[in-house]
Chains A and B, each alone.
Chain A
């Protein structure tokens, strides 16, 4: 059972109040992009064993989408942050580095 914080309404609640939305910070490729990029955007996922950035929605609450940084091998949550960013903010990266020195995720570290 995960316990998550909604960065919008400030509620801390267990996972049943939220709904997972999959991998975060996907770069969208559309018309004009290569087939390979389009396939990657649609289907390929990092699916790491370890640090993961993902989207969640506060469905049974304020309804907002937000981001969570989490470890898929331990279920530890490093923090949640706004949906209005394309990369994890520095304080989230620092929080991860404090616990998982040397972590990597795509081009972020």
Chain B
């Protein structure tokens, strides 16, 4: 297999070179090694957050004796199942800090990773369809101003200019304005996982796919390794980054989390000609839509209302989402839907993530991103790496597990309801 040793860079020149030799020279993007006996750091979960954590451990702290363990294939969890909305217009200061850090890292990610993640800052518009939402979004716009996050509350007329296909005066859900973040947008979800994986592998880290963690080994209250389907592997530090499965991993270590796992679904239509060049979110009706580069309308809905690990949700939620969106975008009523799928999202009570130490020394956890963690991947990895390397990080400080006991919630549930 090629690709051991420093990776070849992707470039326009490389494309020309490979075109001239029938594309016979492309290397594998990452190695698939056998596990070593031990690593300095083990990350469980090769989704975006786990891979980004590993990447910044190497890049920012020079820690490269790292393994990333994945029970399935890398990027096969929520990272490869989401509707890829990227924005940072949250209400609370700690949220604005980590999501804006992430958004700004997305701007340069393709160059940084030498991998095209197709970040498309096309703008994100959150519709206000009730008086409460108007007030809520105005408040958020003011908060964002103070936080240095560029957003603005726009009029219905401006909404119509941005989204010509919208019906402003739907009988049930009139559009009363919107919260506009021009620098928000979308990215290619798989490419984010693949780009980080390639960079991690290039730094000498081991990505171990089809390697499920089945137990956590401790000695005297300190983590010493994990049991896996590929044997026991030792480590000094352990990062659990498994989204919907966080409760399962916490149970292995003997503690519980303030998290419930539920299904969140999305769907895409048949491809059509370009008709909407921004992302539109309608939180009152739990519907979100953007158009992919292929022309499909990408639609996300609300989360199901019961604990679920099956990666499939209930059909009536799809029906509710589509019914509401058809009122706001009448032209989609005749579209055929191509695919529908679900992911298991990890919901906290305050709808904010957990980036934290745990009751087990040396064991850290990054979870609770729920329905909206794709946008946060680089910022989360940045903060989590610092937390694991140094024991604390300004980005993660407010997101510790202790906030529940102490009643210091980072309450985003009022601000956004269920939003991606």
CA separation between A22 and B256, bound complex, in Å?
15
Near A by CB (< 8 A), chain B positions 187-203 give: none
Contact with B along A9-30 (1 / 0, CB 8 A): 0000001100110110000000
- CB pair B248–A48 under 8 Å, yes or no, is yes
Complex interface bits, B252-270 against A, C-beta within 8 A gives 1, otherwise 0: 0000111111000000000
Whether a CB of chain A sits under 8 angstroms from the CB of B251 is yes
Return chain A residues, CB-CB under 8 Å to B307: 23, 47, 52, 54, 72
A99 beta carbon closer than 8 Å to chain B: no
Tell me, rounded to whole Å, the shortest Cβ–Cβ distance linking B261 to chain A. 6
Assess whether B258 is in contact with A43, with CB atoms less than 8 Å apart: yes
- A40 interfacial by beta-carbon distance below 8 Å: yes
Q: Chain B interface secondary structure, helix, strand, loop or mixed?
A: mixed
Q: Which of A26-80 contact B (CB under 8 A)?
A: 35-36, 39-40, 42-49, 52, 54, 72-75
A59 → B minimal CB distance (Å): 11
Say how far A10's CB is from chain B's closest CB, in angstroms. Answer: 22
Cα(A6)–Cα(B72), bound, Å: 38
**Which of A35, A47, A75 has a CB less than 8 Å from the CB of B247?**
A47
Nearest CB in chain A to that of B314: its residue: A1
* A98 at interface by CB-CB < 8 Å: no
B261 near A39: Cβ-Cβ < 8 Å: no
Q: In the complex, what residue of chain A is closest to B316 when comparing beta carbons? A: A16
| B70 to A: closest C-beta gap in Å | 17
Q: Is B61 an interface residue (CB 8 A)?
A: no
A2 to B304, CA, bound (A): 11
Q: Are B256 and A49 in contact (CB under 8 A)?
A: no
* B310: chain A residues within 8 A (beta carbon): 72-75
Note all chain B residues with C-beta closer than 8 A to A19: 305
Would you call B258 and A44 a contact (CB within 8 A)?
A: yes
The yes or no answer to B315 lying at the interface (CB within 8 A) is yes
Q: From A22, which residue of chain B is reached at the shortest CB distance?
A: B260
Contact with A along B347-383 (1 / 0, CB 8 A): 0010000000000000000000000000000000000
Q: Is the CB of B306 within 8 A of A49?
A: no
The digit string for B218-258, where 1 denotes a CB below 8 A from any CB of A, is: 00000000000000000000000000010110010000111
B405 at the binding interface (Cβ < 8 Å): yes
Most buried by B among A40, A43, A46: A43
Asked if A1 meets B257 with Cβ closer than 8 Å, knowing A48-B247, A48-B248, the reply is no
Partner of A45 from the list B260, B316, B405 (CB cut-off 8 Å) is B260
Is B308 an interface residue when CB atoms closer than 8 A count as contact?
A: yes
Q: Is B404 an interface residue (CB 8 A)?
A: yes
Contacts A48-B247, A49-B247, A49-B309 aside, 19 further interface pairs with beta carbons under 8 A come to A1-B315, A15-B306, A15-B314, A19-B305, A36-B405, A39-B404, A42-B404, A43-B258, A44-B258, A45-B256, A45-B258, A45-B260, A46-B256, A48-B251, A49-B261, A54-B306, A72-B307, A72-B310, A75-B308
The 13 listed contacts between A and B (C-beta, < 8 Å) are: A15-B314, A16-B316, A23-B260, A36-B405, A39-B405, A40-B256, A42-B404, A43-B258, A43-B349, A46-B247, A54-B307, A72-B310, A75-B310
